[in-house]
Amino acid sequence: MELYLARHGHVDYDHSIDLFAASLTELGQTQSLQLAEMCKRLDIRFLISSTMIRAEETANIILAEIPDMTRWDLEEFQAVNVDDLMLDPFGHPVMAQWTEDQVITGQKRAWIRVTAVMPRIEIFMDNYGFERVLIVAHEDVIQMMMLAWHGKDWRSLDECPPLDFGAVTRIVLEDGQAFIGPVNVAPGEL
């Protein structure tokens, strides 16, 4: 079973009113088309996307190129956000404005939702015979997934390398083990 974890296409956060509803730039659209070409080349027939706008737009571009692809949108793959603060009345919409305690709470809650859905993906793939999946998500979500496969948790997020917009990481799940390929690779290099 192969999982390709892709960070959504480029977003210009500096010119977005709402960071959580930021749209793809022209570069982000091009990166999404490159992900679609990778899916065609690798015969990836299953697409999972976060439900945040930037990931949805990336997935929409891929699906426009491969309309018969199976798609599954998951809220669990949203980036760490104000909803993870469990109704904290002082939770600012911008994570950069959070206190250290809020960041810890947000990362813990996101960790729980991300790792809880990972086995469901494996079960779904097994049941429906999908050999490969492309997961379009966010930097922190992809990092959490890799940490889980390394036997670590959210407390190790600072150890993770940064991920470029549109970059991909290949994971092979075999006999209960995860083999993590190159991290942060351009879609054309896989």
pLDDT tens sequence across 78-133: 999 999 998 898 988 888 899 999 999 999 999 999 999 999 999 999 999 999 99
Q: Are 110 and 80 in contact (CB under 8 A)?
A: yes
pLDDT for residue 176 is more than 80 = yes
pTM value? 0.94
Mean pLDDT score, 32-56: 97
- Give pLDDT, residue 93: 83
Q: Rounded to the nearest 10 degrees, how much is the dihedral formed by the CA atoms of 180, 3, 163, 151?
A: -50
- Give pLDDT, residue 22: 83
Burial of 54 (0-12, 13-18, 19+ CB in 10 A): buried
Closest CA to 137 of 76, 61, 182, 63: 76
Task: Please give the Cα distance from 112 to 83 (Å, whole number).
Answer: 13
Q: Are 166 and 189 in contact (CB under 8 A)?
A: no
The tokens of 171 are what? 């994971």
pLDDT for residue 141 is more than 90 = yes
pLDDT for residue 143 is more than 80 = yes
* Average pLDDT for the chain: 94
How many of the other CB atoms lie within 10 Å of CB of 9?
A: 27
Least confident of 105-114, 117-126, 145-154, 181-190: 181-190
Those residues with Cβ within 8 angstroms of residue 74's Cβ, 6 or more apart along the chain or in another chain = 48, 49, 50, 51, 117
Task: Please give the Cα distance from 138 to 6 (Å, whole number).
Answer: 8
Q: Are 137 and 52 in contact (CB under 8 A)?
A: no
- Give pLDDT, residue 16: 73
